[in-house]
Amino acid sequence: MPILLGDCSAGLLVVSFFIAVLTYVTYQLLSRHLLQWYKIKPIPDIGGTFPVIGNALQFKTNAGDFFCQIIEFTTEFWSAPLLKLWVGPMPFLILFHAETVETVLNNPVHIDKSYAYKFLHPWLGTGLLTSTGHKWRQRRKMLTPTFHFSILTDFLDVMNEQAEVLVEKLEKEVGKGPFNCFNYITLCALDIICETAMGKKIYAQSNHESKYVQSVYKMSDIISRRQRMPWFWPDFMYNYFGEGREHNKGIKFLHSFTSSVIYERAESISSTESGSDSDQGVRKRRAFLDMLLKTTDEDGNKMSHQDIQEEVDTFMFRGHDTTAAAMNWSIHLLGSHPEVQRKVQQELQEVFGESERPINMEDLKKLRYLECVIKESLRMFPSVPFFARSLCEDCEINGFKVPKGVNAIIIPYALHRDPRYFPDPEVFRPERFLPENSVGRHPYAYIPFSAGLRNCIGQRFAIMEEKVVLASILRYFNIEACQKREDIRPLGELILRPEKGIWIKLERRGTMPTAH
């Protein structure tokens, strides 16, 4: 009997301990929540906020509806300097004016990504996109040299080759009426990033059912949905009642793909350095992966396999999906504005004449109007619809006091439509980005690649790729858009994509390139 009583007492003690811990944690969270609520109460909000779940029940579940909803909020509250909403117990500030955006992005203290990026960690780890603090600073310093101009020049051959494959695929659609070009462009971008990032040809353009592409899109959809549903934020809830199993299955495949490529490339480099390479005398193309395998920090330490995988997964995701979306939006806009398309083709004629030669770096410098088209397309349809930071110290934004820990979401789609800097913002006008028309524009009014310390490390690579692919298409085809602007609904997920693709018709112009 004494033993039973002892066991009972011990059990009660354990239960009491856990109740005490739970009470303490709940008290701390509730206190923090109420303190944040009180401090940011003066900031305009969308209304309809409930305890614990915030505004989550108001959010549309469909990605297209949700994005339209957020943009409607920015339009409704345009005169307000900023806006707040609650996702679960977390407050988010919505920023869409250059002055408020600058306050966050130009401050080196606010470099931490927001809580929502946590859901990318299982896939991308804490690489350059998702890491913070010392790790991010060290990684950025290590990786910046891999985007040097001379290295980007090496990638031009890959871009030309894959653009030529794309042109051959598109040629088969000439005269067949409207078709969806979205997948063609995406597979081309995937082939480019696979060979430049990993040094591996995957022939995605010849394999329309690429499992990697499908897995990337599926993972993007899954993560985007979870971000909007705070009741699925706890892993326990997500794994048992949400899409946890499907999520984990997709992560496993994506990681196994990049892991096997890293292993193969490391073995190849090792055999080359030992003199046993079978391709004697043949210069192998450099890839980002090669540089990652050889990169060292200030202490001479090499990156681990896990470190390398984080960056390769990040490059693969951010390096193909964003550029593919940008090129597709550009194609739609060019097809909708024949006068702009003619100007681009006139510029191409001046640079290339009747030649079918590949594009070189000097050519890219001369394609100034095409670059204006790309920039204007990114203004109207930025590849990344929103990005967010966690404020790392108390600050003041446009006269409102904001406490540390609040998340700030920047909406480039709305920011880029500020009529103060872009009159008639819904009009496609590439001339906005001619040097003489850009003078005096607020530096944070246009940020398709973010801005400040954490701006996109690969933006030169992206613009270069878009120029090569779009120039290749327009050298051989005239494009006619088959959708009106109101028929295209942007899906604001991790990437801004058109809900039903990009439908165009093609007309051949000039001689087709000769296959190598």
> How many Cα atoms are found within 13 Å in the side-chain-facing hemisphere of 129?
25
Q: Are 482 and 445 in contact (CB under 8 A)?
A: no
Count CB neighbours of 115 within 10 A: 17
Region of residue 48 (left: phi > 0; alpha: psi -120 to 50; beta: else): left
CATH number of 39-508: 1.10.630.10
C-alpha angle with apex 164: 159 to 168, nearest 5 degrees? 150
Low-confidence ranges of the chain (pLDDT < 50): 27-28, 277-282, 516
**End-to-end Cα spacing for the chain:** 89
- The domain locations on the chain are 39-508
Instruction: Give residue 157's pLDDT.
Output: 93
- Helix (H) or strand (E) segment spanning residue 503: strand 503-508
Instruction: Give residue 278's pLDDT.
Output: 47
- Distance (Å, whole) CA 11 – CA 1: 15
Instruction: Give residue 330's pLDDT.
Output: 98
Q: How far lies 167's CA from each of 26, 60, 231, 473, in Å?
A: 60, 39, 46, 6
Q: Are 277 and 271 in contact (CB under 8 A)?
A: yes
Q: Greatest CA span in the chain, whole angstroms?
A: 100
Report the chain's C-alpha Rg in angstroms.
Answer: 25
- Helix (H) or strand (E) segment spanning residue 139: helix 133-143
State pLDDT tens for residues 305-330.
Answer: 889 999 989 988 888 889 999 999 99
Instruction: Give residue 26's pLDDT.
Output: 52
Q: How far lies 162's CA from each of 428, 442, 506, in Å?
A: 28, 37, 19
Tokens 């909406």 map to which residue?
411
